[in-house]
């Protein structure tokens, strides 16, 4: 099938994956953000953050809880903090705004949690690279921790052992341990959100790589300008300072850039993915090209690292039709035929970062 007006061929795999019968983008996701892990935690007795007794959450007061680990998912907007028992059950949870430019307030957010929930250790998943040698964090969107040996400094402030991991690595750890990656020796997880991220877990352990950038597949130029046809390819500038990185086209923002490049109109990623599933020709062509552009790269990664499952996180993970089309494109590029889906939405939803921090701290 060729898209009317844009000349892009849409194959059977794309057509089947994006058929309206699959429902609109995100239609299979619970609108409340619930997940299997979340349901389990609620059944096992998540504490009400406001229910306290002598400063200790009510559901914990007087209970013979063993090891309690405080885990946090730190993003540019919020710090999501939860207390886990030794069986990975969430006992208490609190979300607070991230004081991105104030180190003292950042420490206070954790000190308040430690005071509310006496714990044995703290484990954090955070946006940004974590150098495995120095422990220093590189985080453009949280200036107060940028360049800081976060685990060391926070441990000194809290008088608690602290472990820090990259949030994409935490996502993959969580899915490998308790999500769609269970039973797989190597799991390569990808984040398709505001940007492109990823991580590799082998036998339950993060492959950090040199400088802590293992699994970061979004950077390095993969799209080059044509020497004979100007503007034939979308070579966009990247936040890393280069041009044509996968990060510029493989994210939700990248999908929007491709749509503008192809059709000269603006649309957000939700409208594009829903339009594609509804049969809109322009949206359909954008999603098909998106899958073509990044599907081959994912297939090459799988060949290189021998991963057998690719859980997807980030906003585009909710676009089930797009993920199915991407999976079809990836499997079409694999040298060894695979009959079952390889690229699949993550299962743990908004608790993946917390669960990954818990697994990393074990």
Residue 280 banded pLDDT, cuts 50, 70, 90: very high
Q: What is the pTM of this model?
A: 0.82
Say if residues 192 and 213 touch (Cβ distance below 8 Å).
Answer: no
Please indicate, yes or no, if residue 4 is contained in any of the structural domains.
Answer: no
Cβ neighbours, 10 Å, residue 61 = 14
Per DSSP, helices labelled H in 264-360 are 269-278, 281-305, 320-333, 352-360
Q: Calculate the alpha carbon distances from 7 to 18, 271, 281, 282, 286 in Å.
A: 18, 21, 11, 10, 11
| Residue-averaged pLDDT of the chain | 84
* Residue numbers of the domain that contains 309: 12-24+183-346
Please indicate, yes or no, if residue 277 is contained in any of the structural domains.
Answer: yes
One domain, residues 293 and 326: yes
* C-alpha to C-alpha distance for 325 and 217, rounded to whole angstroms: 20
One domain, residues 188 and 334: yes
Residue 226 banded pLDDT, cuts 50, 70, 90: confident
Q: What is the pLDDT of residue 16?
A: 53
Average pLDDT estimate for 52-66: 42
One domain, residues 299 and 226: yes
Given a cut of 70, is residue 197 above it in pLDDT?
A: yes
What CATH number has the domain bearing residue 64?
3.30.420.40
Average pLDDT estimate for 341-350: 97
Given a cut of 80, is residue 42 above it in pLDDT?
A: no
Average pLDDT estimate for 209-219: 84
Residue 32 banded pLDDT, cuts 50, 70, 90: very low
Q: What are phi and psi of 203, to 5 degrees?
A: 50, 45
Please indicate, yes or no, if residue 32 is contained in any of the structural domains.
Answer: no
- E strand or H helix at 57, and its extent? strand 56-57
Please indicate, yes or no, if residue 334 is contained in any of the structural domains.
Answer: yes
Q: What is the pLDDT of residue 66?
A: 56
Q: What is the pLDDT of residue 96?
A: 95
Number of domains within the chain: 2
Average pLDDT estimate for 198-214: 89
pLDDT per position as a tens digit, 74-121: 999 999 999 999 888 999 999 999 999 999 999 999 999 999 998 999
One domain, residues 165 and 188: no
pLDDT per position as a tens digit, 111-149: 999 999 989 999 999 988 899 999 999 988 899 999 999
Q: What is the pLDDT of residue 43?
A: 37
Please indicate, yes or no, if residue 2 is contained in any of the structural domains.
Answer: no
One domain, residues 127 and 216: no
Average pLDDT estimate for 20-34: 36
Please indicate, yes or no, if residue 36 is contained in any of the structural domains.
Answer: no
One domain, residues 153 and 222: no
One domain, residues 123 and 89: yes
Given a cut of 70, is residue 22 above it in pLDDT?
A: no
One domain, residues 159 and 189: no
pLDDT per position as a tens digit, 238-250: 888 899 999 999 9
One domain, residues 116 and 148: yes
One domain, residues 342 and 194: yes
Q: ∠ at Cα 23 (4, 28), nearest 5°?
A: 140
Please indicate, yes or no, if residue 34 is contained in any of the structural domains.
Answer: no
Q: What percent of the chain has pLDDT over 90?
A: 68
One domain, residues 213 and 138: no
One domain, residues 201 and 135: no
Please indicate, yes or no, if residue 237 is contained in any of the structural domains.
Answer: yes
């Amino acid at each position: 099938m060729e898209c009317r007006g844009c000349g892009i061929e849409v194959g059977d795999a794309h057509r089947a994956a994006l058929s309206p019968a699959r429902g609109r983008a995100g239609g299979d996701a619970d609108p409340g953000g619930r997940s299997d892990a979340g349901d389990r935690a609620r059944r096992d007795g998540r504490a009400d953050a406001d229910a306290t007794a002598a400063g200790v959450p009510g559901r914990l007061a007087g209970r013979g809880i063993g090891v309690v680990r405080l885990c946090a998912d730190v993003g540019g907007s919020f710090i999501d903090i939860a207390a886990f028992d030794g069986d990975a059950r969430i006992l208490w949870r609190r979300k607070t705004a991230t004081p991105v430019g104030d180190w003292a307030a950042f420490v206070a957010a954790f000190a308040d949690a430690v005071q509310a929930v006496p714990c044995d250790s703290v484990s954090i998943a955070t946006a940004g690279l974590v150098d495995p040698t120095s422990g220093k964090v590189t985080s453009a969107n949280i200036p107060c921790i940028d360049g800081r040996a976060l685990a060391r400094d926070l441990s000194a402030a809290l008088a608690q052992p602290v472990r820090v991991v990259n949030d994409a690595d935490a996502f993959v750890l969580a899915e490998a341990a308790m999500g769609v990656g269970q039973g797989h020796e190597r799991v390569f997880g990808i984040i398709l959100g505001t940007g492109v991220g990823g991580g590799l877990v082998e036998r339950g352990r993060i492959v950090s790589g040199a400088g802590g950038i293992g699994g970061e597949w979004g950077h390095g130029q993969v799209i080059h300008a044509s020497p004979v046809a100007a503007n034939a390819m979308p070579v966009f500038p990247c936040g890393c300072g280069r041009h044509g990185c996968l990060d510029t086209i493989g994210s939700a923002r990248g999908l929007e850039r491709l749509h503008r490049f192809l059709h000269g109109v603006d649309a957000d990623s939700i409208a594009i993915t829903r339009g594609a599933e509804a049969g809109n020709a322009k949206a359909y062509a954008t999603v098909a090209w998106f899958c073509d552009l990044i599907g081959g790269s994912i297939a090459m990664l799988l060949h290189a690292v021998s991963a057998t499952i690719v859980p997807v996180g980030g906003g585009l993970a909710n676009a089930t039709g797009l993920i199915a089309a991407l999976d079809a494109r990836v499997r079409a590029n694999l040298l060894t035929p695979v009959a079952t889906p390889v690229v699949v939405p993550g299962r743990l939803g908004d608790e993946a970062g917390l669960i990954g921090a818990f697994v990393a701290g074990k």
